Structure 1
Amino acid sequence: MDAPVSSKAAPAKMVHFLADLLTELRVPGTLVAVEVEDASYRVTLALAERGLAVYPLSAWDVSRSLRGDPAAREALGRTLARLVAGTAG
């Protein structure tokens, strides 16, 4: 059974935060959308090498990062870098 998706756009502050983080990570692409799911954010990127790609991010990690938790921001950055690089784990 698939998890229900709200198709609700994330707040602008969240979108800007993630866009800035992706810029810091030098991700070769563009942030297309950030949507709210039950316990995660669904991030859609247009990647230079692969086209559109969708990644789930933990709402807990994103929220802590937004509140200024440096460990959470670092973990979120590592997660994004790993996802974009196409590696698991």
Structure 2
Amino acid sequence: MRLLTLILLALLGALQYHLWWGKNGLAEYNETRENVARQMGSNEQLRIRNALLYREIEDLNEGLAAVEELGRNDLGMIKEGETFYRFLPSDPTQGRPLP
């Protein structure tokens, strides 16, 4: 009877070891769960960024206002008949001149 008790205790210990620290154990499960949560947060940020990019693509394909805005801001373009004024600070220590 004593031998059977020792064998059962050893078997219980081995099963507990595999449950907590073995392959596919609770430690690995918790680590994987944290990785999945982190990846889901990253995916949500990417989903938001993609939605913004799709909206910008739609604006560029459909309307001229977005194209005009990009031309004005990025390339410094002005319309025919417009006058462009550039104001520079009189004191160079106030900051750098505006583009």
Alignment TM-score > 0.5, same fold: no
TM-score normalized by the length of structure 1:
0.24
Greater strand share, 1 or 2?
1
TM-score in terms of structure 2 length: 0.22
Say which structure is richer in helix: 2
For the pair shown, which has the larger CA radius of gyration, 1 or 2?
2
Bigger RCO (CA 8 Å, 6+ sep): 1
